[in-house]
Structure 1
Amino acid sequence: MATRMAAQLWAAPVCPWAQRATIAVVETGAPFEYKTVDLHNKSEEFVALYRRIACDAAATAKVPVLVDGELAITESPVVAEYVLRKYGADKGIIPADPAVLARARLFAELFVANVTAAQGGILKSDSQAKLAEAAEQMAAALKVVDAFLLSQGSSEGGSFFLGGTYSIAEVLTTSLLHRAITYTKAYRGVDLWQLAQERGLSRVEAWMKVALERPSAKQTMPDEVVLLEHGRKFTVPMKD
């Protein structure tokens, strides 16, 4: 009887979207083969694989990609949830209650729409006036996340979105949170921790801390020097 090959995860350490899937893999403890993708020099094998999955011969190949037996999929929320359901069903990371799962998934969507979008505004600011406005937009974004944590999450037993329970809410947001904190501070001097503290957003501040301290998050974080070099290409030079 042929031995089944371990599932493959094609990812790039610097990519926050790919890190979502990598965090999911680490959380399950399942044996995966990690295939590193050079985003600046993608292999023909990877490009062909992605285009086959996307059914588009001209598609731009993106990470992550998961190959598990006959299944080949892409898009980070799809990959992460598949991994967690198949290999980590006993971990409780995917809430069993559909309503709780919906709130956790909505939290991730709102995080991207608010914090990740505000990060882009900060890095694209090319004047001090625009930067000041973008920093205020980030503060407003953190306020939205704080309010959602208070109204739709839980504080029972801990500071994760679901209180003492780590969930897909963190799997899908921690890498993006890390980039937002790192890039805005390094390139524009905007400190998300300070913004949260100054505005009394204690719930989001506590959540940020526990999310980043999760062992799977620490284990999958890219080298800071490499990360900052990668992030530089998203940053517009200041005119003043």
Structure 2
Amino acid sequence: MAAPKITFYTNHGCPWAHRAQITIKELGLPYEEVIIDLTKPREPWYLKEVNPRGLVPTIKYNGEIIAESAVVSQFLADAHPSHLIPPTGTPENALKRARIQFFADTWATKAGSYWFRIALLDTEEEKEALVKEFVGVVAKEIEPLLSDAAPFFGGSDKLTLAEVLTAPFVLRIYEFSKADVLPKSLPEGLNALPNFAKWAAEVVKHESVLYVWDAEKIVPATKAKFASLKADAKAKA
């Protein structure tokens, strides 16, 4: 099978684009990278020819445009069968796929937004209250789903699509807490959950998760972004 022609429109600071970046790295696919500056309005060519929503990631795959991080990641994993997710065709594989999708959906719908909300709060009291709530949600919803991680989801010794879709956010939780973007009590609380702590420790040091991560650039840019969002919120209040 000939290698596909992939143009990857991305931004290394975006956690959503990071999902697709991990997928491409794990699959070993060649690609042309186009960095999209998210700090200014999108260029007309991008809105017209690539993604009218102006978002990343988007890929052009053999001439076809595919957008949205979960869709891009799922498409690439299905188009290039690997350890990320089993192929369709048997009840056993269908069950494994369903469990991966349920894990990713649980993170996104139950836990995924907490770190962002915590970072936008002003007082330590407010932050600590939401940290406690977040850790409680992870304990209830995520911790049981990682009971057989070895070290990755579902007993896999390699990354799965479950990690692809959650790793960018888990990494940021741990890295941002080191720089006081998030309270240090957040990783401390998560590390008290044995299944999550063991799994997360492997996720955040994986080569495919880290290969476009540049803390020296991403952390200050994120701090500035949150400061701007807070200032805008106060101005509108």
TM normalised by structure 2 equals 0.83
**Alpha-carbon deviation of 1:4?**
8.8
Percent of aligned pairs sharing the same letter: 21
Alignment of 1:209 with 2:184, yes or no, is no
Q: What is the CA–CA distance in structure 2 between the aligned matches of 1:191 and 1:64, rounded to whole Å?
A: 32
Note if contact 1:124-1:234 (Cα within 8 Å) is conserved in structure 2: yes
Q: Note the alpha carbon deviations across 1:93-131, whole angstroms, 9 max, x for none.
A: 112311111111111121123332211221122122211
Q: What is the CA–CA distance in structure 2 between the aligned matches of 1:131 and 1:147, rounded to whole Å?
A: 25
1:204 is matched by which residue type in structure 2? Answer: F
Note if contact 2:173-2:187 (Cα within 8 Å) is conserved in structure 1: no
2:115 is matched by which residue type in structure 1? Answer: Q
2:216 aligns with: 225
User: Secondary structure, in 3 states, of the residue corresponding to 1:9?
Assistant: strand
Which of 68, 76, 85 in structure 1 is aligned with 2:69?
A: 76
Q: Note the alpha carbon deviations across 1:7-65, whole angstroms, 9 max, x for none.
A: 111000000100101111111111111111111233332222244xxxxxxx5300001
Alignment of 1:172 with 2:171, yes or no, is no
Q: What is the CA–CA distance in structure 2 between the aligned matches of 1:181 and 1:115, rounded to whole Å?
A: 15
**Alpha-carbon deviation of 1:189?**
2.5
Superposed CA RMSD in Å reads: 2.3
1:111 aligns with: 107
Q: What is the CA–CA distance in structure 1 between the aligned matches of 2:203 and 2:182, rounded to whole Å?
A: 23
Q: What is the CA–CA distance in structure 2 between the aligned matches of 1:112 and 1:45, rounded to whole Å?
A: 31
2:44 aligns with: 44
Which of 131, 134, 156 in structure 1 is aligned with 2:127?
A: 131
**Alpha-carbon deviation of 1:191?**
4.0
| Larger RCO (alpha carbons 8 Å, 6+ apart) | 1
Structure 1: segments with no counterpart, 5+ residues: 52-58
1:95 aligns with: 86
1:12 aligns with: 11
2:15 is matched by which residue type in structure 1? Answer: P
Note if contact 2:3-2:30 (Cα within 8 Å) is conserved in structure 1: no
Q: What is the CA–CA distance in structure 1 between the aligned matches of 2:152 and 2:182, rounded to whole Å?
A: 28
Note if contact 1:9-1:33 (Cα within 8 Å) is conserved in structure 2: yes
2:205 is matched by which residue type in structure 1? Answer: E
Q: What is the CA–CA distance in structure 1 between the aligned matches of 2:185 and 2:50, rounded to whole Å?
A: 37
**Alpha-carbon deviation of 1:178?**
1.1
1:54 aligns with: none
User: Secondary structure, in 3 states, of the residue corresponding to 1:95?
Assistant: coil
Q: Note the alpha carbon deviations across 1:44-94, whole angstroms, 9 max, x for none.
A: 32222244xxxxxxx53000011012311100011011112223x1x2211
Q: What is the CA–CA distance in structure 1 between the aligned matches of 2:34 and 2:207, rounded to whole Å?
A: 21
- The residue correspondences of 1:191-202 to structure 2 (distance < 5 A) are 191-197=185-191, 199=192, 201-202=193-194
Note if contact 1:11-1:37 (Cα within 8 Å) is conserved in structure 2: yes
1:189 aligns with: 183
